[in-house]
Amino acid sequence: MIRVLLHGACGHMGHVVAGLAANEADLTVAAGVDPCPQPMEFPVFETLEPCPEADVVIDFSTASAADGLLDYCVEKRLPLVLCSTGLSAAQLERVREAAELIPVLRSANMSLGINTLLKLVREAAGVLGKSGFDIEIVEKHHRRKLDAPSGTALMLADAASDGLPEKPEYVFDRSGRRMARPKQEIGISAVRGGSIVGEHEVIFAGQDEVVTISHSAFSRSIFAQGALAAARYLAGKEPGLYSMQDVV
Ligand SMILES: NC(=O)c1ccc[n+]([C@@H]2O[C@H](COP(=O)([O-])OP(=O)(O)OC[C@H]3O[C@@H](n4cnc5c(N)ncnc54)[C@H](O)[C@@H]3O)[C@@H](O)[C@H]2O)c1
């Protein structure tokens, strides 16, 4: 039985992971951590320190919690499935350092669909980007989302960039510019509103034709399912930095 520590247990994603894990035979949530604890089917602690032993941590909390979580996982030699988004460059460097000592799987999007989309975008950029198509990414999320653009939009931009012959510039705001669009850029736009779970569109705009590849998330369970699959994959693995591309 794989024992999971659920970090950010009482948030939207924490509840979905807990609900799905309750129906799994090979996996159990040993404890949750959340500074705003709520009654759940397992003990929830306000901090990591009093938590019981576990085999893997699943994190859906917030970027500001990542440093403390990395310290704890390294100290306890605990594999970490890191799903929180909006980590700074310095925090991403700390993730890489931690991955020398423990297995860490980080992905801004845990869904099977988006991880398949990444491959398609890389391939399309290789063909269309090289032929002069402009690449734009539009993402839409609920009004509560803290970071913008989404980590998934950045992953999609990186995938497109991988397919291009030259490294593009990512442009998040054109409001102050008065110039035609240079070829070597990827525009990334964020829409926030209502309860949108997550929508991503990658637009390849060429002369007289446009190719759009898109993904819509209708429920948070796609991320939670991915996180459970990642926890199974990571428990007992060698130290290293893994991604959902390793799991799918
Ligand atoms: N990788 C993915 O596929 C994916 C999918 C959905 C959401 N996310 C990310 O997961 C995170 C959580 O999303 P959400 O919608 O559940 O947010 P949420 O605000 O509903 O939940 C976050 C929870 O984390 C708790 N928290 C805050 N500080 C903490 C700390 N120091 N230690 C432990 N818990 C702490 C909060 O009290 C809250 O209950 C966000 O960063 C979001 O962008 C990632």
Average pLDDT over residues 16-40: 97
Q: Taking all residues of the chain, what is their mean pLDDT, rounded to a whole number?
A: 96
The helix (run of H) or strand (run of E) holding residue 119 is helix 112-124
Closest atom of ligand 1 to CA, residue 10: 39
Residue appearing with tokens 């949530």: 29
Residue 220, Cβ neighbours under 10 Å: how many? 19
Q: Where are the domains of the chain?
A: 2-106+221-247, 112-217
Comparing CA positions, the residue from 211, 115, 113, 124 lying closest to residue 160 is 124
CATH tag, 2-106+221-247: 3.40.50.720
Task: Give yes or no for residue 235 having a pLDDT over 90.
Answer: no
- Nearest protein Cα to ligand 1, atom 9: 84
The reply to whether ligand 1 has any atom less than 6 angstroms from the CB of 112 is no
Task: Give yes or no for residue 190 having a pLDDT over 90.
Answer: yes
What pLDDT score does 188 carry?
98
DSSP 205-245: E-SS-EEEEEEEE--THHHHHHHHHHHHHHTTPPSEEE-HH
Output the CA torsion 213→218→221→227 (10° steps).
Answer: 20
How far is the C-alpha of 95 from the C-alpha of 104, rounded, in Å? 8
Q: Which of 15, 145, 200, 215 is catalytic?
A: 145
Q: Which of 15, 141, 200, 215 is catalytic?
A: 141
Tell me the pLDDT tens digit for each residue of 58-94.
999 999 999 999 999 999 999 999 999 989 999 999 9
What pLDDT score does 248 carry?
79
Top-level CATH class of 112-217? alpha beta
CA of 19 to the centre of ligand 1 (A): 16
CA of 167 to the centre of ligand 1 (A): 32
- Please give the model's pTM, rounded to 2 decimal places: 0.86
12 carries an active-site annotation: no
Nearby residues of 82 by Cβ (< 8 Å), 6 or more positions away: 59, 66, 69, 95, 104, 105, 106
How far is the C-alpha of 225 from the C-alpha of 246, rounded, in Å? 15
Residues listed for the chain? 248
